Amino acid sequence: MILQRKIFDKISNYWMKICLAIILVFPFVIIIALYIKSIPLMSEISVWKLIFSSEWSPMKGNFGFWPFIVSSIYVTFLSFIFAAPVCFFSAIYLTQYASKRLINFMHPVIDILAGLPSVIYGVWGILVVVPFVGKFIAPAFGISSSGYTILAGGIVLAIMCVPYMLNMLIESFKSVPIELKEASLSLGATYWESIKKVIVRKSFPGIFSSFGLGITKAFGETIAVMMVVGNMVQLKFNPLEAGYPLPALIANNYGEMLSIPKYDAALMFAALLLLVIILIINMFFRYFIHKSQTK
């Protein structure tokens, strides 16, 4: 019996180590595969020129990814600006002020929003956000627009990121021991001061994690953004102009361009760029999480 337990323990231990190794190796396998597929393009055009060139004419051999990178960053930035304050203050209210009935009602609502397919958000964006931007926001600034803009993409992405960011913020605020807040109140601090100086400060790692998750979610989103952002290759910094993010470029063209080797390599390079940028964003937030934990 003891021998059987030891054998079972060893098998379980090896199996868990194998699973861990697969998880650790998998990102490197993806990066290597994308890099190999991108070599036909990178061997002819320098990586620097591919990233920072603005000319996109695949049939002429010009592959400039800068407009796609700028569009991706712009849409992601707008979605973060819209979603982060709403999620932050909503999480504070739900964890510190709201009744249990409201909390019990909100949890399934948040789960439903998180579980909706991205195409549903895209359809909602076409039916609501695009007309709103085209008929109300753009005319208010004296601009004629169809509504298929970077701003529309940012709004739709913000709504998509809310459940993920809100869930993590709620759990972060709930994880702070209530004794810390009570100690602050006993020393004469107001309720809001206790939240600001104790709850929020103690939750800094969780806040950074939720914001990082929201940004990476927004940066890599494809279908919903592709449906509302306009998909025009242009380098514009006006949010009321159309854009063309990297994920939309890959989704729109990959199936049709497999027969053109250089174009296929360009789309693989776009995927590699997307992966590298998301890794950089994650490393950036991990650094701030580490700093906040050490403090």
> Quick one: pLDDT band at residue 295, thresholds 50, 70, 90?
low
Decide if pLDDT at 92 tops 90.
yes
Give the pLDDT mean for 241-266.
Answer: 82
Decide if pLDDT at 131 tops 90.
yes
Nearest to 72 by CA among 128, 132, 154: 154
Is 288 exposed, middle or buried, given 0-12, 13-18 or 19+ CB atoms closer than 10 A? middle
* Whole-number pLDDT of residue 68: 93
pLDDT digit string (tens) for 97-130? Answer: 988 888 888 888 888 888 888 899 999 999 999 9
* Whole-number pLDDT of residue 292: 67
> Quick one: pLDDT band at residue 156, thresholds 50, 70, 90?
very high
> Quick one: pLDDT band at residue 32, thresholds 50, 70, 90?
very high
* Whole-number pLDDT of residue 256: 65
What does CATH list as the number for 47-294? 1.10.3720.10
* Whole-number pLDDT of residue 1: 64
* Whole-number pLDDT of residue 261: 72
pLDDT digit string (tens) for 39-49? Answer: 988 888 888 98
Give the pLDDT mean for 61-76.
Answer: 90
* Cβ neighbours around 13 below 10 Å, total: 10
pTM above 0.75, yes or no: yes
> Quick one: pLDDT band at residue 149, thresholds 50, 70, 90?
very high
**CA–CA dist 58, 55 (Å, integer):** 9
Decide if pLDDT at 294 tops 70.
no
> Quick one: pLDDT band at residue 154, thresholds 50, 70, 90?
very high
Please state, rounded to an integer, the average pLDDT across all residues of the chain. 87
Give the pLDDT mean for 17-23.
Answer: 86
Which residue type, as a one-letter code, is found at position 232?
A: M
Nearest to 96 by CA among 184, 161, 176: 176
Decide if pLDDT at 5 tops 80.
no
**CA–CA dist 139, 258 (Å, integer):** 41
What SS3 string covers the chain? CHHHHHHHHHHHHHHHHHHHHHHHHHHHHHHHHHHHHHHHHHCCCCHHHHHHCCCEEHHHCEECCHHHHHHHHHHHHHHHHHHHHHHHHHHHHHHHCCCHHHHHHHHHHHHHHHHCCHHHHHHHHHHHHHHHHHHHHHHHCCCCCCCCCHHHHHHHHHHHHHHHHHHHHHHHHHCCCHHHHHHHHHCCCCHHHHHHHHHHHHCHHHHHHHHHHHHHHHHHCCHHHHHHCECCCCCCCCCCCCECCHHHHHHHHCCCCCCCHHHHHHHHHHHHHHHHHHHHHHHHHHHHHHHHHHC
Q: Where are the domains of the chain?
A: 47-294
Decide if pLDDT at 180 tops 90.
no
* Whole-number pLDDT of residue 70: 92
Query: Can you name the residues that pair with 57 across neighbouring β-strands?
Result: 62
